[in-house]
Structure 1
C-alpha cells in the first residue's frame, strides 16, 4: 500500500513539537535554572565569556563547570560529496520537509544503528534505498544472528545492501548524481545514481568552537575523563556524547549528567564513579534490536565462558496473534549458573522487553527469579519467562527426575 508522505512528515513535525517542551528553556527556568542563550567560550579554566545573539557579551566565573556539548556527525572526505550535497541525521528531517513525495533514490553511507534506522525508514516510506558499509555485515558490533535477521528484513523492505564496499567519489554522470563505489573483495567499481545521499558513518564529540584550545586541550582527540567524569582540570566535568566512549546514547548522557552534577556539588566530601555495568541500548529498526551486557561476540573476544539460552518468538502466542513472529531472545549466563551476563533481543517491542533484564541484572536477580515471576497471558513479556524456562530445562536435576519417576510408578502400583 502507498504511504501518504505529506501526512507522515506532518506527524513527525507534530511529535517533535510535542516533545520539545521537555527540553525547553521554560521548563528549566521553571525548575530554578538560570538559562543564558548565547555562544560561550573559555577564557581561562574558571571563566566563560558568553556572546548573545544581540551582540552583548558577559563573563561568568564558576567553582565547577560541566561540558555537555554533545556530538556531531562524522563526514568522511569523499571527493565531490560536499559539492553535490548530502544530508546527515541532523539535517535530514528539515530537508524532507520540502518534499511532497519521498526522494526516489536514496543512498545511505554507514551500516551502524543510525544508518540502518534511516535506510529502513525511507525504504518503508517508498524510496529506493541502497546502503553502503565497508565491514562484512550490518551492525558489526552485534552478533551475526542479529545482522542476519536484519539483512533478511531489509531484503523484504527493498533495501539493497552493499557490504564490503567503500565510497570512492561523488560525480555527475549524464545529469545524474552518482556515487562511485568499490567492491573490497573483487576490486570491481560501479556507479550508483541517487537523488539524496545520507552520511551516517558515525558521530564524534563536539569539541571545537568554545575555547578548549585556550586551556591547552587538543580538540583533535577525544575529551578524556576519569571515573568521576573529571577532565584534566578537576573542577571541569563532562557528560554526554562529548565524552565519547562505547555508549553515545541519550539515556547514558542523562546517567552521566547525574554523576557529573553530584560530583561537582559534593565532590569535596565524596565522589561517585560513574557506573556503566548495566547499560541498555536499542536500535529502532523493524524488528527492533535491543541489548544489555555481553553478547556472544564480545564474550568470545574477552575470553568469557558462557552458556546461551535461546527462545524463538515464533513460538510465542502473542507474537502469533499479532502476526509478528520474527526474532528471538538470547541470554548469556556463566556455565551452570543463572546469573545474567547479557541479553540480546530481536523482535517487536524488543526495547520494552529488555527492561525486565536490565532490572534483573542491576539488582542481581537470575533466571530462576524471572521464571518464578508470573507474566500476564497473552503478552510479549512471556517470552522472558520462556527463555528462562529454556535455561531451567538445560539444568534439570536428572537424579531427582529419575527418583520422581520411580515414585510415581510405585504410586501406580508398579506399572
Structure 2
C-alpha cells in the first residue's frame, strides 16, 4: 500500500511519524527515564510490579522494547539491562532477543518502504556495487555488524533497509548476530546494583573479544574461499617459477588491449593467435561491414542525385571493385593490429593454436607443427565468437554464407536471402539491396531488432523496405531444397509468443528462391578446442564462459573477456573488459576491480543508424522503473533539413521530475556519433540541464541533443513563476512613461547623451 503512494505523500507520512515519535519521546521524558540512574532508582518498584502482575509487566516491557527499537529511540542498552534486572538471565535473554530482533525488523521495513526507492534512484550508480556485494555476502557483513556492539544498531537497521537484502535473511541474521552482545548486557542487568556506568559493562577486554567475534564471519568466509581455491588447484602441480606474468589467448579487441596494457606496465606477456591478428572485428565484422555500408550508401546517393540538383548522374556497381575496396580497407587498418606493432610494444606474439593444459601451463602448436609449453602466473581468454548456424534441414547441403565468409564473394548475388533480423542481418540486407541484389530478409520474431523499442523496429523496417528489402517478420525457416533446379528456402508464417518468441502457430509454407543465403542469426562464443573442458571451467546458460564480477573463471588466475565471456558482443565492451582483466591479473594481490557495465553504448549501422545507451522505454517498463520520455524529431533540425536526412529522432528517458538521464535512443544520420554526448553525461552524472547549457556549433546534427534537452526544460518550466513574471512585465509596461520621465538618466535627461 505504501509503495502505491506518491513520493511526496510518502515523505509527508514519514515526517508525520517522525514528529509523532519525537513528541512521544519528549512528552513522556524518555530521555530521563531511559538512563542508568533512573533504572536503578525504580528497580524495586519494577520488581514489585513484576511480582504482582508478571504477565502484564512482561507484555508491557516487550511492547516498549519493540516500539523503542522500531522507532530508533536511544536507550536500548538501558532497556536490555532492565530485562536482566527484572526477569533474570534466561528469561531476560529470551524476551530481549526477540523484542530487539523484531523491532530491528520493523525499523528495517520502515526504511525499506519509505526511503529505499528514493535513495536507490538518486544514487543508482554509487549503490550498484554495494547492492551486488549485499546480494552476494550481505549475511556475512550483517553478522559482523551485529556481533560488534560498537556499531549503532539503529543505524544498521536503517541502512540495511536501503539494500536488496530480504527481510527474512535480515531477521534471522539479526536474531543470531545480536545474541552474544545481548547476553552480555542481560547478564550485567542481573547485577545492576554493581554497575555505575555503561562503561562498566563493556570493559576493553570484553569489547576486544566481541570485535574478534564479529570479525569471525568475514575470516570464516575467506577461509572457506581459501580452502575452496586449494581444492580447485589441488590436482594441478604449480611451477616453482613462471616464464611469464600473463598469457593472452586471442588477438581480437579484448586480447590486443589486454596485451597492450600488460606490456605498458612492463609485465612479461605472450599473445597467442591461431588465425588472423585483429580478430573478428578487423577481418570479418566491424571493419569490412562498415566499408561495405559506405559503398552501398554512395550507390544510393548516386540514385538520389536529382534530389540534390544533379542531372544524368549514372553509376554502375562494380561489385568486385566494391569488395576489393573492402579488403583494401582491412589492409590499411591491419598495421594497427599487426605482429610487428605489438612486438615493438614489448608483447611476445605467437601465431599458433593454444591449449590450456593446467591453470599455469599453455601449450602452443605453431604453424610449422612445433610445440612449446609456457608457464604463466595468469591467463586471459579472449577467444571471441563465431557465427551460429541453426540446424535447418538442407542448409549445409546447398551451402550458405555467414558474416565470416560473405567477404569472399566477387559477384553480386542476384537473389539473396538473409536469415536473421538482428544488427548484422539488417546492416547487410540493406547494403546488398542498395548494391543491386534482390534481398529477402526472414526473421522469426514479430519485428526486427527486438532489443530496441517497437518504434525503432518500425523505422528500420520501413527504411529497409524503401531500399527494396522484402522483410518477412514472423516467419520461420523450415528447410532448404532444390526445386526445379532452383535453390529454395521454405518458410512458414509463424505466430510467435510475444514474450519468448517461440512459435505457437504456423501457416502454409511459402517458397523463396535464391542464389545465395546469408545466415545472420547471431554469434556463439568459442568455448571449445583450447582446454576448458579438461579444466572443468563452467559455462553459463548462454554458453559463454562463467566469470565473476572480476572476470575470473573457476580458477581465480584465469580470466575471460569479450564475446567469449559476454554479456555483450561488442568490440568496445571487449576492450573495456580487457582493462579490468589485465589490472586484476597483474595487480589483484593489492587491489581488484569489478567490471562496470553501468554505461554501455552500442550502434546499429543501418541507414538511419540506431544508437542507444542505458534503458530503452520497453526495458524501463519491464523492470518497473519510473521514467519520463523526452523526444525531439530530426525533421525539426536545420542541419538535417539541409542534408536531406530528416528521418529519425532523439529520445531520452529521465527520472520523473529530474534531469537525470536513464537512457537515450537516437535514430538518424550519424546517431552513433551523436550518442557520445549522452554516454559522457551518464558516465559522469551530468543531467539534461548541463547539455542544454553547453554551446553546440550551428548548424550541426549535434544540436539535436541540445534541442532535446530544451524540450525537457520547456516541459518542466516553473509555470507559477512564469505566471508571476508575466504579471511583473505587464505591470512594468503599464507604467513605462512615468518611469522614463522620472528616471535620472532617462531619455529626457541630457546627461544620458553626455555619458
TM-score range, shorter chain: over 0.9
Instruction: Say if 1:414 and 1:133 are closer, same or farther in 2 by CA, change over 3 A.
Output: farther
For residue 27 of structure 1, report the CA deviation from its aligned partner. 1.2
For residue 55 of structure 1, report the CA deviation from its aligned partner. 1.1
Q: Does 1:198 align with 2:546?
A: no
Higher-RCO chain (CA-CA 8 Å, sequence separation at least 6): 1
Which residue of the partner structure matches residue 87 of structure 1? 401
For residue 414 of structure 1, report the CA deviation from its aligned partner. 6.6
Match of 1:308 among 629, 633, 636: 629
Deviations 1:140-195 (A, max 9, x none): 01001100111111111010011111111000011110001011135121110001
Match of 1:35 among 311, 336, 349: 349
Which residue of the partner structure matches residue 47 of structure 1? 361
**TM-score using structure 2 length:** 0.54
Which residue of the partner structure matches residue 588 of structure 2? 267
Match of 2:427 among 99, 104, 117: 117
CA distance in 2, matches of 1:132, 1:35: 42
Which residue of the partner structure matches residue 12 of structure 1? 326
Q: Does 1:126 align with 2:460?
A: no
Which residue of the partner structure matches residue 189 of structure 2? none
Report SS of the residue matched to 2:583.
helix
For residue 373 of structure 1, report the CA deviation from its aligned partner. 0.5
For residue 219 of structure 1, report the CA deviation from its aligned partner. 6.3
Is the CA contact 1:212–1:219 (under 8 Å) kept in the aligned structure 2?
no
CA distance in 1, matches of 2:341, 2:400: 34
Match of 1:323 among 638, 644, 668: 644
**TM-score using structure 1 length:** 0.97
For residue 212 of structure 1, report the CA deviation from its aligned partner. 1.1
Gaps of 5+ in 2: 1-302, 304-315, 496-505, 737-755
Paired residues for 1:243-254 under 5 Å? 243-245=565-567, 247-254=568-575
CA distance in 1, matches of 2:476, 2:371: 47
Aligned CA-pair RMSD? 1.2
Which residue of the partner structure matches residue 56 of structure 1? 370
Match of 2:416 among 102, 106, 109: 106
Is the CA contact 1:208–1:219 (under 8 Å) kept in the aligned structure 2?
no
Q: Does 1:363 align with 2:684?
A: yes
Larger relative strand fraction = 1
Deviations 1:18-46 (A, max 9, x none): 11111111111111000011111121221
Paired residues for 1:100-179 under 5 Å? 102-179=412-489
Is the CA contact 2:538–2:554 (under 8 Å) kept in the aligned structure 1?
no
CA distance in 1, matches of 2:440, 2:321: 25
Is the CA contact 1:204–1:244 (under 8 Å) kept in the aligned structure 2?
no
CA distance in 2, matches of 1:287, 1:297: 21
Is the CA contact 1:47–1:61 (under 8 Å) kept in the aligned structure 2?
yes
Which residue of the partner structure matches residue 338 of structure 2? 24
Match of 1:293 among 602, 614, 624: 614
For residue 216 of structure 1, report the CA deviation from its aligned partner. 1.8
Which residue of the partner structure matches residue 374 of structure 1? 695
Which residue of the partner structure matches residue 529 of structure 2? 209
CA distance in 1, matches of 2:444, 2:566: 22
CA distance in 2, matches of 1:413, 1:244: 68
Instruction: Say if 1:218 and 1:225 are closer, same or farther in 2 by CA, change over 3 A.
Output: closer
Match of 2:668 among 338, 344, 347: 347
Gaps of 5+ in 1: none
For residue 91 of structure 1, report the CA deviation from its aligned partner. 0.8
Match of 1:66 among 345, 370, 380: 380
Which residue of the partner structure matches residue 279 of structure 1? 600
CA distance in 2, matches of 1:351, 1:26: 32
Q: Which has the larger radius of gyration?
A: 2
Q: Does 1:182 align with 2:488?
A: no
May I ask how many residue pairs the two structures share in their alignment?
410
CA distance in 2, matches of 1:303, 1:217: 35
Q: Does 1:383 align with 2:704?
A: yes
